Every structure is written in structure tokens, then in C-alpha cells.
Amino acid sequence: MPSISTLAFAAVVTAFALGHIAVFVLGADRGVVADLLALTYSTMLPIGCGAPLLDGGAWRMRLGAVATTFVAMSAITHLTWEAGWLVFREAIAASPTAPWAYSWWAYIDGGDTRYAQPDNTLLVVMEGLSVCNGVLGASALGLYASGGRYAPLGVLGMMAMAVVHLYSVALYYATELIDGLPSVGDSVFDLGFKFILANAPWLVFPPVVIVWGIGNPSLSPIAVADRSRLCSAAAALNGVIIIAIDSPLVTSNCINCINCANCSGKLRQ
């Protein structure tokens, strides 16, 4: 059965596909559809990122699942929607009724009209920073998931990504608020869902990534050395040594992992 996170993220992708059909095939009101899309992604993205907390297992492992899920979601968003806007921003601004540009205009309509201004220097810089942050997050997640000696670099990379998020989102909110919200619709829905909640995951989950990273035993040289020796012993005994899930030795640095029956390699994650 698919996880809650998978279902939540699938709902966002499906909503955009159905939104295109509703507007450009069925002739539905684009404003109403944009509101429904905003309601979907502003609720499903936080649910998708936070759902791993409901899973079983140790608290530290669940926190790690939340952190890595957010990093993956964020990297995908940066390298698709935001990178697309950065590259095609002039064409997007000139094509408010084009089907191919609706993925961006669904957010621009009431969410933030700055995205309809391709010469907005501050926004261009912020989105460029986000795309670079997406590359960093994807690379860090890959290093961490691969395990081994480079996993600590993955943890540090994800923590760095989280710090950049806190800065960029704070700047994103603050510049609009200080200017008096000129680019956001004046309705409660536009302000509450399209502007605040839609961007809230990048303000709420980065601290989770940082807290998880600080406590991650993969950054402890002692834990790395002890885990390596323990797993070498386990390999010699064909995996008969059982490692407790809550053990501080359970890190992503088992360079001699044999994928034994105790966890089938899952404890490396």
C-alpha cells in the first residue's frame, strides 16, 4: 500500500494535470481552478513531508525520514517549477492563457504576481539561489543515501540546504510584507493559502533538517569507527549479530554493510 507521503505528493501532481484539463478542455473558470490547486498543494505538501512522523520505529529514524522527504520534495520543486520559471520567465509572463504556462499562472493568479514580472531582479536572484539549493539538496541526498564514507557530507549538505531555505523564505516573505503585499491577492484565501501556507514548508521543515543533522551519529567520528568495527564483525559471523534500532551505532556509515536479514540494509537510511 502506498505511504501517506506518496499519496499526498501524487495528489499534487494529479491536481495540476486535472487543472489543465478543467481549464483548457472543459472551459472551467481558471480562477476557481487555481484556488482548488492552491488548496491542494498548500495542504498536501506539508502532509507529505510530515507523514513519516506517524510511522513506527525510533523517534530519531522518523525525524530523519521527515528530513530526507522534505529535502527530496524541495529539490524536485526547485529543479522543475522554479528552474522552469527562471529559464522561461519572459515567455511565461507573455503567455497567461497558454496551456503550457498554466502551471506557473495557477500560482500567479492571486498567489504572487511578482512571477509575472520577468525583470524583477530580486525574485530572479532568489529563484536562482533556490535552483542552486536544489542541486545541493539532490547531491547531498544522493551522498547520504549511498552510505559509506561520504554519508556525513550528505548530512552536512542537507543542513546547509536547510539554512539557505530559512534565509531565502524569510526574505521572500519579508520583502512582500514590508512593501504592503502589493503582489498578493487581497482575499483571505489568496493571502492565507496561496502566499503563506504554500510556502510554509520551506520555513517549517528546515529546522527539522538542522535538528536531525546535529544529532545524526554519522557526524560522530567515534560512532563511525565503532560502527565499522561492529559491522566487520557481523560480516565475519554471517550477520548473526543483531543491532538494536535505537543503538547509537545505527548510522549511515556502515561501509561494510552486508544487507543481513536483520534490516536488509534499511538501517543505513
Residue 59 confidence (pLDDT) above 60:
yes
| Percent over 90 (pLDDT), the chain | 59
Same domain, 255 and 184: no
Same domain, 206 and 231: no
pTM of the complete model: 0.81
Question: What's the domain range around 228?
Answer: 221-268
Confidence of residue 117 (pLDDT cuts 50, 70, 90): very high
Same domain, 192 and 59: yes
Same domain, 15 and 130: yes
The residue-averaged pLDDT of 170-192 equals: 86
Residue 251 confidence (pLDDT) above 50:
no
The residue-averaged pLDDT of 235-263 equals: 44
Q: What is the pLDDT of residue 218?
A: 78
Same domain, 101 and 26: yes
Residues with Cβ within 8 Å of 222's Cβ and at least 6 positions away in sequence, in order, are: none
Count: domains in the chain: 2
Q: What is the pLDDT of residue 205?
A: 97
Residue 142 confidence (pLDDT) above 80:
yes
Q: What is the pLDDT of residue 189?
A: 85
Could you tell me if residue 239 is left (phi over 0), alpha (psi between -120 and 50 degrees) or otherwise beta?
left
Confidence of residue 244 (pLDDT cuts 50, 70, 90): very low
Same domain, 126 and 235: no
Confidence of residue 123 (pLDDT cuts 50, 70, 90): very high
Same domain, 226 and 134: no
Same domain, 47 and 146: yes
Classify each residue of 2-23 as buried b or exposed e, where b means 16 or more C-beta atoms within 10 Å of its C-beta: eeebeebbebbeebeebbbebb
Residue 129 confidence (pLDDT) above 60:
yes
The residue-averaged pLDDT of 85-114 equals: 91
Domain boundary among 219, 234, 252: 219
Same domain, 204 and 233: no
Same domain, 119 and 246: no
Q: What is the pLDDT of residue 233?
A: 46
The mean pLDDT of the chain is: 84
Domain boundary among 185, 202, 219: 219
Same domain, 160 and 240: no
Q: Are 52 and 62 in contact (CB under 8 A)?
A: yes
Residue 269 confidence (pLDDT) above 80:
no
Domain boundary among 219, 237, 256: 219
Q: What is the pLDDT of residue 202?
A: 95
Same domain, 225 and 214: no
